Amino acid sequence: MLYPDDSTTMGRELRLKQQYFFVSASLQDILFRHRKHHTGFDDLPDKVAIQLNDTHPAIAIPELMRLLMDVHDIGWDAAWDICRRTFSYTNHTVMPEALETWPVALVEEMLPRHMRIIYEINRRFLDEVRHRNPGDLDLVRRVSLIDETGGRRLRMANLAIVGSHTVNGVAQLHTDIIRETIFADFHRLDPDKIINITNGVTPRRWLNQANKPLSDLICLHIGEGWLRDLRELRGLEPLAEDAGFREAFQEAKQSNKERLAGLIDSRLGIRVDAASLFDVQVKRIHEYKRQLLNLLHVVHLHDRMCADPGAAWVPRTVIFSGKAAPGYDMAKRIIKLIHDVADVINHDPRINGLLKLVFIPNYDVSTAADIIPAADLSEQISTAGTEASGTGNMKLSLNGALTIGTLDGANVEIAEAVGEENMFVFGLRREEVKRLHDEDYDPMRFIQSSRALANVLRKIHDGYFSPTELERHRPVVEDLMGEDRYLVCADFEAYLAAQERVAELYRQPEIWTHRAILNVARMGGFSSDRAVHEYAKRVWNVQKNLEAVEQEFHGGQFVHGMQQLAQNPDLLQFVGLGEQFLAAGAELKGSN
């Protein structure tokens, strides 16, 4: 229902309406509940913590100011103090185009009162900046909530930082990067404000529920303690040396692979060999995540196999899944290209089924839970410095896949935890990426020095995979030959070499399995329990034990709010949720 196509003015307006609608409903609910047990709002920050999950709900800052001042008659200073002690903000990306900015004219038109409040927040904030940094006009321009270059725009990240007591990045490398780049000025103004809390994943869903065969095997050997304290997985480490355990571990993986092969056959009508290496890249389709790098390797492999089908190839099934944002043209081209390459490879009699390529549609959490337990190889190949954390990387390693990856996001910390020798690390480091960009990166240099890359790009360019429309994939290839913003060409040869190491190791199942077990055993630090406890202690200042807090959370309030909304079809229509929202509500009613 959410995230409409924001490539049009109408889509962008709808998006801002949705953001404001949910934010306002949540804040009014929070204040209503607080008033039932307390007089006034002075102690709101002691009882309530509001975590801004990215900048999308940042309009909550002026909205809480509005509610406190206009509805509850609190003065500016007291209201601002309550806000700043209640809000904190998690940054999830360093992509400049993903940092939300709204045209001031649009906010003015839709939320005029909020725009006045934002101006006043900005005036007071910039006064303080000027007072502490006299004469530094450029600093004032950079940290202002309003971008005055070109059409005036409201910078939601700046608003979120100024209105929060704590800001966090989601992996150590990512936090280092935001301190040094996009938020460097704010970091200098307040060096204690930006902290790191590395993401985690829940072991209940991503291991116990998603992977029964492995979960049962683990419980058999170390009990059930790991379900609540994932660090207990350490107990598996010695079992990596036990041939009997390795065999049982392999059997669990094999049964997951057979199950997924069955799903692929029934959903897509594609037969894959469950004994082949399952090479998996599942995540949103985005150029920075470099599904193209993976696909170029597939085309290369196909080419090599055709040239020498009798060689001792490791059979592979390459699995992609992921959605493209509605207005993201290049991402949709990449999906189309994957399908076209799959159509040729999967029907090529010359390679005798040695290589299969599968795109599983409609990637969501349920699909993820079907695919991840069956993976042998986890593709985490973003350009170094672009992936804030990643959590797919954690789910896959926790399920006994080996990672082929760059030193990016949480991959860095996963490598430290499981040991670099138990991963296939390749490619440019963050500093090298920065240097290439500074030196005016030219992809043609890398294409001219790699016959494999030149050959693969020529085949796609000339229509080998789109015989009915030879020019279809030229825009993708031309982008790689021209700008190649995410350095696919620069990392291609290193990626090929890493993939050769993968195939070599897969021929030695005992060593492969040994490393897979060590991956699982050493992933205990990547539980969402650890992450949530860090937020509780370092950000929300939660004193009492978390189980008591969990019991106090009344999920029922949300359903109650939904039912009330369902009785106001005009409002739902206004925020673009009309029929879909009512249908979802009806479904909720029928479930528990």
Closest distance of CB 387 from ligand PLP, Å: 7
Nearer to ligand PLP, 86 or 391 (CB): 391
Cα(371)–Cα(320) distance, integer angstroms: 10
Closest distance of CB 324 from ligand PLP, Å: 13
Closest distance of CB 488 from ligand PLP, Å: 18
> Has 437 been annotated as catalytic?
no
Nearer to ligand PLP, 101 or 211 (CB): 211
Closest distance of CB 497 from ligand PLP, Å: 23
> Has 473 been annotated as catalytic?
no
| CA torsion angle 53 577 26 228 (round to 10) | -50
> Has 86 been annotated as catalytic?
no
Determine the residue with CB nearest ligand PLP.
Answer: 392
Pairing mode of beta strands 101-103, 153-155: antiparallel
φ/ψ bin of 257: left (φ > 0), alpha (ψ from -120 to 50), beta (otherwise) = alpha
Burial status of residue 552 (CB atoms within 10 A of its CB: 0-12, 13-18, 19 or more): exposed
92, 304, 530, 533: the active-site residue = 92
Rg, Å, the chain Cα set = 26
Cα(297)–Cα(407) distance, integer angstroms: 19
Subset of residues 273 to 292 that bind ligand PLP, contact rule: CB under 6 A:
283-284
93, 391, 403, 513: the active-site residue = 391
> Has 174 been annotated as catalytic?
no
391 binds ligand PLP (CB under 6 A): yes
Which of 163, 373, 385, 392 forms a contact with ligand PLP (CB under 6 A)? 392
Structure tokens at 229: 């304290």
Closest distance of CB 376 from ligand PLP, Å: 16
Residues 6+ apart with CB under 8 A from 174: 91, 94, 196, 388, 389, 409
Cα(307)–Cα(310) distance, integer angstroms: 9
Closest distance of CB 365 from ligand PLP, Å: 5
Closest distance of CB 323 from ligand PLP, Å: 8
Cα(395)–Cα(400) distance, integer angstroms: 9
Give the total of residues touching ligand PLP (CB under 6 A): 10
- Give the neighbor-by-neighbor strand order of the sheet with 166-169: 50-53, 87-90, 166-169, 194-196
Contact characters 313-352, ligand PLP, x per CB under 6 A:
----------------------------------------
Subset of residues 37 to 96 that bind ligand PLP, contact rule: CB under 6 A:
none
Structure tokens at 419: 């040991």
Contact characters 227-266, ligand PLP, x per CB under 6 A:
----------------------------------------
Coil, helix or strand at residue 321: strand
Q: Using CB under 6 A, which of the segments 249-257, 388-396, 459-467, 501-509 binds ligand PLP?
A: 388-396
Nearest to 317 by CA among 371, 267, 368: 371
Which of 155, 246, 395, 522 forms a contact with ligand PLP (CB under 6 A)? 395
Nearer to ligand PLP, 197 or 368 (CB): 368
Nearer to ligand PLP, 390 or 443 (CB): 390
**Is 395:421 a contact under the CB 8 Å cutoff?**
no
Q: Which residue has the tokens 């709010």?
A: 561
Closest distance of CB 408 from ligand PLP, Å: 11
Closest distance of CB 249 from ligand PLP, Å: 23
Nearer to ligand PLP, 158 or 294 (CB): 294
Nearer to ligand PLP, 30 or 394 (CB): 394
Nearest to 186 by CA among 119, 125, 99, 120: 125
56, 114, 283, 333: the active-site residue = 283
Task: Calculate the alpha carbon distances from 246 to 258, 315, 400 in Å.
Answer: 18, 22, 12
H/E stretch holding 433: helix 430-438
Residues 6+ apart with CB under 8 A from 509: 250
Cα(83)–Cα(232) distance, integer angstroms: 39
Q: Using CB under 6 A, which of the segments 232-240, 386-394, 502-510, 527-535 binds ligand PLP?
A: 386-394
> Has 283 been annotated as catalytic?
yes
56, 114, 193, 289: the active-site residue = 289
- Tally of residues, the chain: 592
267, 284, 485, 530: the active-site residue = 284
Nearer to ligand PLP, 378 or 513 (CB): 378
66, 395, 459, 473: the active-site residue = 395
Task: Calculate the alpha carbon distances from 248 to 217, 223, 509 in Å.
Answer: 8, 16, 13
Cα(353)–Cα(351) distance, integer angstroms: 6
> Has 92 been annotated as catalytic?
yes
Subset of residues 362 to 381 that bind ligand PLP, contact rule: CB under 6 A:
363-365, 368
**Rule CB under 6 A: which residues touch ligand PLP?**
283-284, 363-365, 368, 390-392, 395
Residues marked as catalytic:
92, 283-284, 289, 391, 395
